Amino acid sequence: MPPTLFFSSVSKSFGKSAAVTDLSFDVQPGEIFGLLGPNGAGKTTTLRLALDLLRPDLGRIEVFGAPFAEPAKDRVGYMPEAAGLYDEMRLRDCLVYVGALKSLPLAEAGRRADAALRRHGLFDDRKKKIKQLSRGMVQKAQIIAATLHDPDLLIVDEPFANLDPVNAQVIRETLLDFRARGKTVIMSSHQMHLVESLCDRIVMLQAGRRVLYGSTRDIQRQFAEPAVWVSGEGDFSGLPGVSAAEPRPNGWKLSLAPGTDPGDVLRAIALRPELRVDRFELAMPSLDDIFIRVAGASPQRGASGQRGASDLPGAEEREPKGEPRA
């Protein structure tokens, strides 16, 4: 099965300003893929290129294994970061209209709209104009509009903005359901804890170039400290191969001496009957920490910084290849 989305050596400039430079990655069926980067990194341009709203200056883009063509549009759903619905239309009418644009019969679009409005707690507001809805309600309406035709590729830009935890969980379940059914989700977000919990793989852009690419777990391992987290009962100091043992509120952080394997520390703990282990894991950094190290700024602030990381080792094995075209 071909990648759902395929970028090979793609470049796009606006005048003398390069928005995307030599960008390659692929997105596979049945995965949630994160598109990350600080403001101005090229994420919006990348999404517009993927949607065929912009054409690349160089490189090749394929959707569902071929250049983007008219029939593919009905297989794609897009939720923009900024409001993309019609302010003067009533909510249900707007959703039915958007469904019809994606080739749904009007009756079927209405049935699906009613079901989705009930599921998202908006059915009682169906006759309100879009401009009368709160920001959180508009956000839910936009995810309904993007998914009403059950696309094979769903692209969502900041899908959890303005949502309370209950409604954020509904959106989360929607994205997980798409993945479970073998569909593809591309998610751009500055909320790293959500990216970390949802995304199978990510690509991170900085100044229009790819600086990280691979599975979320592998990228965390790349940036991991030589340390482990341990929780349980007893004093975990003085273990062989541990250069420092720091008690923390939720356990101990054990820094490993050079050449020490975490498994050796676990075996040493097992030999001490006075110690009981509830949790033992590598000291993985959060994606938020990695983002700050690579981009030089917190994703919550969205500032740009200097590029400071190479691509994930081994990621080139999945990198799409191909001759660029003008």
Domain ranges of the chain: 5-220+289-318, 225-282
- Using the predicted structure, report yes or no on whether residue 315 has a pLDDT greater than 70: no
Q: Which residue, among 114, 140, 142, 112, has the nearest Cα to 127 in the 3D structure?
A: 114
Level-2 CATH architecture, domain 225-282: 2-Layer Sandwich (3.30)
Q: Is 71 exposed, middle or buried (0-12, 13-18, 19+ CB in 10 A)?
A: exposed
Confidence of residue 25 (pLDDT cuts 50, 70, 90): very high
User: What average pLDDT does the segment 49-75 reach?
Assistant: 94
Contact 171, 163 (CB under 8 A): yes
Q: Structure tokens of 302? A: 């969205």
- On average, the pLDDT of the chain sits at 88
Contact 57, 325 (CB under 8 A): no
Confidence of residue 297 (pLDDT cuts 50, 70, 90): low
**Distance set, CA 90 to CA 80, 121, 126, 269, 320 (Å):** 19, 16, 7, 64, 44
Give the CATH class of 5-220+289-318. Answer: alpha beta
**Distance set, CA 32 to CA 140, 155, 223, 236 (Å):** 19, 10, 22, 39
User: What percentage of residues in the chain have a pLDDT greater than 70?
Assistant: 91
